[in-house]
A and B are shown apart, each in its own frame.
Chain A
Amino acid sequence: MSLTVDGITKRFGNFEALKGVSFTAPQGAFVALLGPSGSGKTTLLRILGGLEFPDAGSVHFADLNWLAVPARERRTGFVFQHYALFQHMTVEKNIAFGLAVKPRRERPSRAQIAKRVQELLALVQLDGLGKRYPSQLSGGQRQRVALARALAIEPRMLLLDEPFGALDAKVRKELRGWLRALHEKLGLTTIFVTHDQEEAFELADLVAVVNGGKIEQYGTPADVRQAPRSTFVRDFIEARAN
């Protein structure tokens, strides 16, 4: 169930968002796409989630031609930067959504869905908040609802777009440790996008430094840190460290 991305290009009008991106990640890896805004990292994530289609290149995941699988059948747990929670639904309804929209044959019973929702609420440490609406939650809580909702469909891959982008520094640190622990527990192949190198280096097994639609360097946090392969990578790391 490893992920192989090969030669992905994507253009929006005159803007070349991705200029031939390739990388591979083993099953269960925690991969960070690290780069400044506008570098193409979110576009890459959206392509993996089926929300965007590349102009060229291929993606293989779990021996499947991933690009041929429609978004709704990919079962990628996508957590959006601004969470994209359903505002008119309670937390419980949000989490249950992916189960409730399944075709009748595959849909769990109402009791099973309710049980699963309670388990997920416990997993993301939001017990007792199931009846609230997203607008009644803090940023960190919304973030965890979004994650629980994504996990409810038993995703084959987890995709996180700036998962801590909208949170303050303290909550960000707490959630980081918690997310890493969750990853160890679930063992899902996880790709996350961030512009924060500290976050990338602390969380990920593998870091891809993205700039101008290309991967400048791909390797373990230690490798990237100790042997930056281009001036961009060195400057980017140093600029953030200061």
Chain B
Amino acid sequence: MSPRFRSPTADHWSMRAGLTVLSLAFIGLFLVLPLIVVFGEAFADGLRPVWAAIREPDALDAIRLTLVAAAIAVPLNAVFGVAAAWTVAKFDFPGKGLLVTFIDLPFSVSPVVSGLIYVLVFGLQGWFGPWLSAHNVHIIFALPGIVLATIFVTFPFVARELIPLMTDQGRDEEEAAVSLGASGFSIFRRVTLPNIKWGLLYGVLLCNARAMGEFGAVSVVSGHIRGLTDTMPLHIEVLYNDYQYQAAFAVATLLALLALLTLALKTLLEWRYADEIAAMHHH
């Protein structure tokens, strides 16, 4: 290739090849290989043991609990996330910087600490523990605690995805809609929501993947009651600690598959609606 026709920003081929090989090797070693190992270990003796491990009652309970917790936490975080992003992106008010910092809090605080916060607040020895216990409300070591911990840990995903998008879009279209006589709700439904739907979808998918996979925070509030408060990640740990490696890998495979499904769905949507997504970015 003649150097005269090289694009001014393109580096030498050896540089490009080197960087490509480096990235592929890194991704392969640290991301793809572990995934292959999980699947390999699970299916080492064929399909039957995997099937058996998943059909085991405790495993089924764990799967159900994970799906229920995600089904509650993800929609709530979608609503909270849109509300937070809307507030931050479209209005100016004192304390806005503080609010943005708080939204990021779950990313910076260790999940174990987030779990402990709920134990300290709602646990038997906590602030509201005795009162809740007297009224027969169980939060810690029960579904509400697991949902709360999941909400806390996965809160930033939707908001973080939407804030830059909505800030970038500005208020012009909303202002135009107001001057054309639209009500607040009408503006949200007809103008704001269609403009953010792709960002919202990505946020929800990422939030869902993390909600199903969360370990640390849920581990603290769950109490590890088999068949009752063990989610899939917790169940995998229990199996692993019991030296039931194959069963552990079998459930892990299912969890990994759920995550891969999320990624596949995202890619499929991007591919299917590529034109529309591109059009939205050409402001």
- Seen from chain A, the residues whose Cβ lies within 8 Å of a Cβ on chain B are 49-51, 71-78, 80, 82, 84-88, 97-98, 101-102, 133, 135, 149-150, 152-153
Which residues on A sit within 8 Å (CB–CB) of B183?
Answer: 72, 101
Closest CB-CB distance, A177 to chain B, in whole Å? 26
Select which of A73, A84, A88 is within 8 A of B172 by beta carbon.
A84
Are B279 and A80 interface neighbours, CB within 8 A? Answer: no
Q: Known contacts A71-B178, A153-B180; is A80 also within 8 Å of B195 by CB?
A: no
CB closest chain-A residue, reference B197: A88
Asked whether any CB of chain A lies closer than 8 Å to the CB of B108, the reply is no
Which residues on B sit within 8 Å (CB–CB) of A74?
Answer: 179
Among B126-134, B143-151, B186-194, the one that faces the other chain is B186-194
Closest CB-CB distance, A201 to chain B, in whole Å? 28
Are A49 and B195 interface neighbours, CB within 8 A? Answer: no
Select which of B172, B181, B190, B191 is within 8 A of A80 by beta carbon.
B172
CB closest chain-B residue, reference A73: B181
Asked whether any CB of chain A lies closer than 8 Å to the CB of B282, the reply is yes
CB closest chain-A residue, reference B276: A88
Q: Given A51-B175, A78-B176, 8 other A-B contacts at CB below 8 A?
A: A72-B181, A73-B181, A84-B172, A86-B190, A87-B283, A97-B177, A153-B180, A153-B181
Asked whether any CB of chain A lies closer than 8 Å to the CB of B201, the reply is no
A-B CB contact pairs (8 Å), 23 listed = A71-B179, A72-B178, A72-B179, A73-B181, A74-B179, A80-B175, A84-B172, A84-B173, A84-B175, A84-B176, A85-B173, A86-B176, A86-B177, A87-B195, A88-B195, A97-B180, A97-B182, A101-B177, A135-B282, A149-B180, A150-B179, A150-B180, A153-B180
Are B176 and A80 interface neighbours, CB within 8 A? Answer: yes
Select which of A51, A88, A102, A133 is within 8 A of B179 by beta carbon.
A51
Q: Known contacts A80-B176, A82-B172; is A87 also within 8 Å of B279 by CB?
A: yes
Which B residues between 261 and 283 are near A, CB-CB below 8 angstroms? Answer: 279-280, 282-283
8 smallest beta-carbon distances between A and B, as pairs: A98-B180, A84-B172, A84-B176, A78-B179, A101-B182, A88-B194, A71-B178, A101-B186
CB closest chain-B residue, reference A152: B180
Are B180 and A101 interface neighbours, CB within 8 A? Answer: yes
Bound form: Cα–Cα A77–B280 in Å: 25
Which residues on A sit within 8 Å (CB–CB) of B178?
Answer: 50-51, 71-72
Select which of A51, A98, A135 is within 8 A of B181 by beta carbon.
A98
Which residue among A71, A76, A101, A133 has the maximum number of chain B CB atoms within 10 Å of its CB? A101
Bound form: Cα–Cα A39–B230 in Å: 64
Closest CB-CB distance, B167 to chain A, in whole Å? 16
Closest CB-CB distance, A81 to chain B, in whole Å? 9
CB closest chain-A residue, reference B180: A98
Select which of B179, B181, B186, B191 is within 8 A of A86 by beta carbon.
B191
Closest CB-CB distance, B281 to chain A, in whole Å? 9
CB closest chain-A residue, reference B176: A84
Which residues on B sit within 8 Å (CB–CB) of A76?
Answer: 179
Which residues on B sit within 8 Å (CB–CB) of A101?
Answer: 177, 180-183, 186, 190
Are B282 and A75 interface neighbours, CB within 8 A? Answer: no
Are A75 and B175 interface neighbours, CB within 8 A? Answer: no
Are A102 and B181 interface neighbours, CB within 8 A? Answer: yes
Bound form: Cα–Cα A152–B179 in Å: 12
Bound form: Cα–Cα A59–B271 in Å: 52
Which residues on B sit within 8 Å (CB–CB) of A149?
Answer: 176, 180
Closest CB-CB distance, B77 to chain A, in whole Å? 24
Closest CB-CB distance, B124 to chain A, in whole Å? 50
Q: Known contacts A80-B172, A86-B173; is A50 also within 8 Å of B179 by CB?
A: yes
Closest CB-CB distance, A77 to chain B, in whole Å? 8
Which residues on A sit within 8 Å (CB–CB) of B191?
Answer: 86
CB closest chain-B residue, reference A102: B181
Closest CB-CB distance, B190 to chain A, in whole Å? 7
Are A88 and B181 interface neighbours, CB within 8 A? Answer: no
Select which of B190, B195, B280 is within 8 A of A97 by beta carbon.
B190
Bound form: Cα–Cα A72–B175 in Å: 10
Bound form: Cα–Cα A72–B279 in Å: 28
